[in-house]
Amino acid sequence: MSPEAVTQCPCPSGTGKGGVDMHIAEPLAIYSLHFDRGDADSGTVALWSPITDTRLGEQPEWIRDHRAEPIAYVRGARPSVQVSLLANHFVPASFELSAFGRSLSPAHGPDTPIRWLGPHPVTLERTAGWSTLAEPVPFNRPLPNHIGTHSLELQWVAEWTDADGSARQLFLGNSRHELFTTGAPMREGGAGAPPSGAYVPLVRWSSRWCAGLESRKDICDALLRGLPETGLRYGVPAWTVRHMLTVGGGMCGGWYQLFQQLANCQGVTLEGRTLHLVPKDDPRTDEVRWEAMVAVAPGINQLEPSRLTRLQGRFHDCVRYPFAPDEPVELLGRVESRYVFMAGWDDGHCLNFLEDSGRLYLYDACFRTEAVELDMPLPSADGRPVRLGAESSFRRRYLHPTLPFLMGTLRANGRLWEVDLGRNEFGITVGTEQVPEIDIMWTR
C-alpha cells in the first residue's frame, strides 16, 4: 500500500477527538502505545513528572482519548513501541500493522508521508477485547540526528487479504506524540535529578532552546539565554530542581542543579561549585574581614530583590578602601534591599563551570545572562583557601560586577560597625574591587 492510499483513507468519525466519555466503537482501534518500558531495549530518555515524581513511562505514554505524554530519545535513535489494540467483533484475526506519518527531517520534505512502522504481522489474541503485541514494534527509520522538538503524528492502518483475494485495509486511528531528540546520552544520578532521565520540563526546554546546536559551549549559552522563558525566579526558598519546578523558583543552590540538569539533558556535563568567602577575625580590633558577599541585582525573573529572601535595611557603603581606623571615611547610608551571602562554610554562592576546548567558562544562572570566560583552571572543590589578587580574571570578570560589595565588621570614624543580621545591622559594605586581596574557598 502506498502512503498516498493512507492519506485518502476515510477516517471514522470521532477518531482523534479527546474526551473521557468518548466510546471506542470502531471494529479495531489502536488503543495504547508504550515507548519507555523501563528496560534498556526501550532506548528512551526517561521522563519524569515533577508533580508526582513518577516516570511517565510507568504507563503507556499514549492511551487513546485519555493520555498523551511526551517521549524523548537521543538523536538518531531508532525507537520501538509496545502496541495494544482494542478489537470489537467482525475483525480479521491476522493482519499487517503499519503506521504512516510525515517525515521529521527537512531532507525528506516536511509533507512527505513515510511508513514509520510496519508492515508488522499481527495475530490478535482475541477478536473482542484488548491484545498487546508480543514484542515491541521497531520503527523503520531513525529519528532526526539533531537536537530538537517534534510533533510526530501517526496514522495506524491494518491491511490484510480476504479469502477471495481482495486487498483490504482498515484505519485504526491517529496518535500524536510530542517528541524530543537530545544531543547525547545523559549521565544518570546527578544532583537533584530523578533516579533516571530528567524532569520533563527540562528536556522540553533544553531541546527547544538548543535545536540544531552541536558544540557544548553553544548548548550552554543557549540554555543560559533561554532561562528567563521558564518564568522561574531567583530568591524563592527552594533548593532542589523538583521543588523549584513546583513553586516557581529557587535559591542558587537549586538553580545550579537545574542548570546542570538542563545541560545534562543534552549530554553536556558541567562542574558545580560553591563559592565561599573566608572570614578573618582580628582579635585586637574585633574587626572581621569579611562577613558576607553582597548582591544588589534582583536576580533572574525578578524586578526587585525577592521579598522572601532579601535583606532590607540601611547599608553603609564605604566611599574608599582601604582606610586606617583613625582616619575619617565617608559612608553612604542607603536603605536598600540586597542579597547577602554569609562567609564561611555555612553559605556561599553556587555556580557552574564548563571546560571546553581548553577554556574555562563560568555560568551563573541567577545573575548573569552570558558565560564568563576565565583565565584559570577549574577550581578544585577541596575547600582550601585561595587568595585572589586584584588581577584575578575571576574577580575582574565575575566577582566585581556580580557581587559588588563585601560586608565587614570594621572600625571607622571612632566606632565599631558590627554585622548582626538578627538586628538588621550590616556593618560596612566595601566595593569588592577596592579590596586588595580576597580569600575564598570552593566546595561542590
CB 99, CB 115: distance < 8 Å? yes
DSSP-derived 3-state class of residue 360: strand
Name the one range near other proteins by CB under 8 A: 206-214, 239-247, 369-377, 426-434.
Answer: 239-247
Residues 353-382 that bind other proteins (CB under 8 A): 381
How near is the Cβ of 444 to other proteins at its closest, in Å?
A: 5
Which residue's CB is nearer to other proteins, number 34 or number 233? 233
Burial of residue 271 (number of CB atoms within 10 Å: 0-12, 13-18, 19+)? middle
Name the one range near other proteins by CB under 8 A: 145-153, 232-240, 318-326, 425-433.
Answer: 232-240
Residues 274-333 that bind other proteins (CB under 8 A): 274, 308-309, 311
- 278 φ, ψ to 5°? -90, 120
Which residue's CB is nearer to other proteins, number 148 or number 299? 299
As a whole number of Å, the CA-based R_g of the chain is 29
Applying CB under 8 A, the site for other proteins has a residue count of 29
Work out whether 237 is an interface residue with other proteins (CB under 8 A): yes
As a whole number of angstroms, the distance between CA 267 and CA 281 comes to 44
Work out whether 425 is an interface residue with other proteins (CB under 8 A): no
Work out whether 187 is an interface residue with other proteins (CB under 8 A): no
- 172 φ, ψ to 5°? -105, 0
Work out whether 418 is an interface residue with other proteins (CB under 8 A): no
How near is the Cβ of 234 to other proteins at its closest, in Å?
A: 10
Name the one range near other proteins by CB under 8 A: 314-322, 326-334, 337-345, 372-380.
Answer: 337-345
Work out whether 432 is an interface residue with other proteins (CB under 8 A): no
How many of the other CB atoms lie within 10 Å of CB of 61? 23
DSSP-derived 3-state class of residue 50: coil
Query: If we measure between CA atoms, which residue out of 284, 272, 340 comes closest to residue 312?
Result: 340
Q: Which residues of 319-341 are buried (b: 16+ CB within 10 A; e: fewer)?
A: eebebeeeeebebeeeebbbbbb
CB 177, CB 68: distance < 8 Å? yes
Residues 70-109, mask of contacts with other proteins (x by CB under 8 A): ----------------------------------------
Which residue's CB is nearer to other proteins, number 192 or number 267? 192
How near is the Cβ of 121 to other proteins at its closest, in Å?
A: 46
How near is the Cβ of 260 to other proteins at its closest, in Å?
A: 9
As a whole number of angstroms, the distance between CA 69 and CA 104 comes to 19
Residue ranges in contact with other proteins by CB under 8 A = 191-192, 237, 239-240, 242, 251-253, 257, 272, 274, 308-309, 311, 339, 341-342, 345-350, 381, 421-422, 443-444
